[in-house]
Amino acid sequence: MYLKVNKNKVKAKVNPDMIGLFFEDINYAADGGLYAELLENRSFDYFPSKVDAYKSPLTGWKAVGDCELLARKTDPMNGVNPGYVRVMAKAGGGLANRAYEGCYLEEGEEYRFTFYSRGSYGGKVVFSLVSGGETVARAEFDGVPEKWEKRETVIKASKTVYDAEPRITLSEDGEIDLDMCSLFPRKTYNGRENGLRPDLVRALKDIKPGFMRFPGGCIVEGNGLANRYRWKDTVGPVETRKINWNRWQEGGVGVTATNYYQSYGLGFYEYFLLCEDIGCQPLPVLNCGMGCQFQCEELVPVNELDEYIQDALDLIEFANGSADTQWGAKRAEMGHPAPFGLKYLAIGNEQWGEEYFRRFEAFQKVISEKHPEILLITSSGPACAGKDFEAAWNWLDEKGPGFAYAVDEHYYVPSNWMFANTHRYDDYDRNGPKIFAGEYACHVGHGQPRPNNLEAALAEAATMIGFERNADVVRLASYAPLFAREHFTQWTPDMIFFNNHELMLTPSYYVQKMFGNNLPEHTVEFSCTHGENLYVSAGVKGDEVIVKLVNNSHQPRTVHFGCQGGTAEYLTAEGRHPKEIMEKKNTMEEKFQVVPVTETFDGAEYTLKPFSFTVIKYR
């Protein structure tokens, strides 16, 4: 077949932010995941939720030796998170933390342990990390002050273990109060004390994302408005960030997770820092005065939205205001005097219907007047078709150009839908709101867990080719969800799986990376012959032509480009027959079943592998 690319015939300018990330705290993506804190329920503040009405504030902790643990709130360290534990122990007794599934410790690496304590105890407080009955790291503290005081130390692991149990014990009989017990590896991304797992951050950075949407997702809405995400609760000293239960304790398609809470150690300040670290634009999502419509019907009356709208204005000031403004000063106090440069803001997650339209209008009126530089994103609901979707577009058509920058469309759909709808945006109004494909993924099959296999990756690549061909309409796109911790997963598929010491990159991840690393500056016209089951986009970056192709056929296909050689990066798998090839996936045990391969070619043609996604570059 012949593919003729007219690199001088520009069709559209591609948004450099186009290929992005969507981070939601689902599947233990934050606490127990990207956020590098190793201890679970560090502040003894778990509380009853809608899912677990009897949740203990000591969840995640247990007594060791001869010891009694008493959850208390009288005369707390602070009034925001008032819980603490009173430890009443005989010599050698104390408490231990579950640490999710135990701590991974690397031989020779250092770990920072901090805690707050008070009491009249004069013996030693011993912190140890124990695996298989062996102490791998240990530190001692002399006595306990009468008033709350922070203590800290740095310890070094004597060997590599995967299941260390953190313990705090007393060397003598005694009684002490403990709060905010925390353990971090010193080796976090950029070495920050309240930092992130470096391997997970590097995986994000390697995509070369243009933006990151955060913190959700359904947790923005909450299972009831009392459970909604409040960004102001997530900034300032970590001890005073008000803990919340996670809406994904229920409502996923995996395990019920009654121990799933949000410490907010990974809060809005850290999200903005992460975006800066990996070189992308922040795209926060704020609650619009509505709870999750799948779980509740709670609404804030439109005439009582002032607090919510003010939260949006204050967030813009926190991100962009000078250090002499109220919220800009808060940012500077946290360590970042310079503005973060926020330009995108989403109001509501995947809300729908008249109640949402009225609330978005209230936000839009105020924000567009006070901050016309902010690009507002609205929602078309949770599905990519149907009456709610159509109602959203009818509403936007009535509002006219300029009302919203982009519409957030979501779709979790099977592969046949994705392959059949690569031309979805060809007929969209070029003068209307732009498209933000804020959540999408291919869902293969009907069982659980749904696989991240080659079939899903190729369908997603074909869909993204459709995005790129329509780059004048589709300005932003992000796969969802991003992270999933092994054994703690509520939703599949996901882009990156991890446990306490390693990660696994899925074929879907590699598709995102291949797009993010090969984004053209402009799309250009092209023509091809014999294109059945072939999906193509073409663009240019400087004098380089970039062509993306999905060959959804069991046959190899030789493509004549009319060039003098170039490079080809392709993603496929080995197999004896089509079904085996398409079902290939990566696992924790076999991480490299489906990975990209790069090669050079000479002359004017290149042969596409069966069932493959390929990026061709030539000059």
The model's pLDDT over 31-54, given as tens digits with 9 standing for 90+, comes to 999 999 999 999 999 999 999 999
> Mean pLDDT across the stretch 44-69?
97
Type of residue numbered 56? S
Across residues 153-178, what is the average pLDDT?
A: 98
* pLDDT of res. 35: 98
Distance CA 63, CA 321 (A): 48
How far is residue 460's CA from residue 481's CA, in Å, rounded to a whole number?
14
pLDDT at 575: 94
> What pLDDT score does 532 carry?
87
pLDDT band per the 50, 70, 90 thresholds, residue 302 = very high
Give the count of beta carbons closer than 10 Å to the beta carbon of residue 161.
Answer: 22
24-36+189-517 topology per CATH: TIM Barrel (3.20.20)
Q: Mark out the alpha helices in 279-353 (DSSP H runs).
A: 306-320, 326-333
Q: Which residue has the tokens 């070369």?
A: 208
Q: Are 44 and 61 in contact (CB under 8 A)?
A: yes
Q: What is the fold, at CATH topology level, of the domain defined by 3-13+524-618?
A: Immunoglobulin-like (2.60.40)
> CB–CB of 173/91 below 8 Å?
yes
Weakest-pLDDT range from 167-171, 200-204, 229-233, 292-296: 292-296
Interatomic CA distance for residues 269 and 123, integer angstroms: 39
pLDDT at 340: 98
Domain positions in the chain: 3-13+524-618, 24-36+189-517, 61-185
pLDDT at 293: 94
**pLDDT number for residue 250:** 87
Outline where 16-131 has alpha helix (H).
none
User: How many angstroms separate the Cα of 46 from the Cα of each of 61, 85, 258?
Assistant: 11, 12, 10
Quick one: DSSP state of residue 410? E
The whole-number pLDDT of residue 473 equals 98
Q: What is the set of active-site residues? A: 350
Confirm if 327 and 314 have CB atoms less than 8 A apart: yes
Q: For residue 137, give the nearest of 182, 187, 103 by alpha carbon.
A: 103
Q: Is the pLDDT of residue 254 over 70?
A: no
**Total-model pTM:** 0.97
Are the C-beta atoms of residues 86 and 70 closer than 8 Å to each other? Answer: yes
Distance CA 226, CA 546 (A): 49
| Contact predicate 167/141, CB 8 Å | no
pLDDT at 29: 98
- Return the pLDDT at 531: 77
- CB distance 218 to 294 below 8 Å: yes
Handedness of CA 291, 295, 297, 298 (dihedral sign): negative
Inter-residue contact 64 to 200 (CB < 8 Å): no
Q: Which SS3 state, helix, strand or coil, does residue 310 take?
A: helix
C-beta atoms surrounding 427 within 10 Å = 9
Distance CA 436, CA 377 (A): 8
**pLDDT grade, residue 66 (50/70/90)?**
very high
| Range 504-531 burial, b when 16+ CB lie within 10 A, else e | bbbbbbbbbbbbbebbbebbbebebeee
Lowest mean pLDDT across 185-194, 197-206, 557-566: 557-566
Q: Give percent of the chain above pLDDT 90.
A: 96
310 φψ region: left (φ > 0), alpha (ψ -120 to 50), beta (else): alpha
Strand partners, 185: 111
Report the chain's mean pLDDT, rounded to a whole number: 97
Calculate the CA 209 to chain-centre distance.
Answer: 12
pLDDT given for residue 209 in this prediction: 98
Gap between the Cα atoms of 47 and 59, Å rounded: 9
Mean pLDDT of 153-157: 98
The pLDDT assigned to 72 comes to 98
CA terminus-to-terminus distance, the chain: 20
Which secondary structure element, helix H or strand E, spans residue 366, and what is its range?
helix 354-370
Contact 406, 435 (CB under 8 A): yes
Confidence band of 256 (pLDDT split at 50, 70, 90): confident
Is 120's pLDDT higher than 80?
Answer: yes
Q: What's residue 62's pLDDT?
A: 98
Written as six digits, the tokens of 584 are 């290939």
- In tens, the pLDDT along 555-590 reads 999 999 989 999 999 999 999 999 999 999 999 999
Q: How far apart are CA 248 and CA 29, in angstroms?
A: 11
Q: Are strands 211-214 and 281-286 parallel, antiparallel or unpaired?
A: parallel
Tens digit of pLDDT for each residue in 317-356? 999 999 999 999 999 999 999 999 999 999 999 999 999 9
Residue-level pLDDT at 257 = 92
Q: Topology of 61-185 in CATH?
A: Jelly Rolls (2.60.120)
Residue where the block lists tokens 């809005």: 268
Q: Which of 70, 414, 448 is nearest to 254 (CA)?
A: 448
C-alpha torsion angle, residues 287, 289, 291, 296 (rounded to 10): -170
Under DSSP, the state recorded for 227 is G
Total residues belonging to the chain: 619
DSSP string of 232-262? Answer: GGGSS-GGGSPPEE-GGGSSSSS---TT-EE
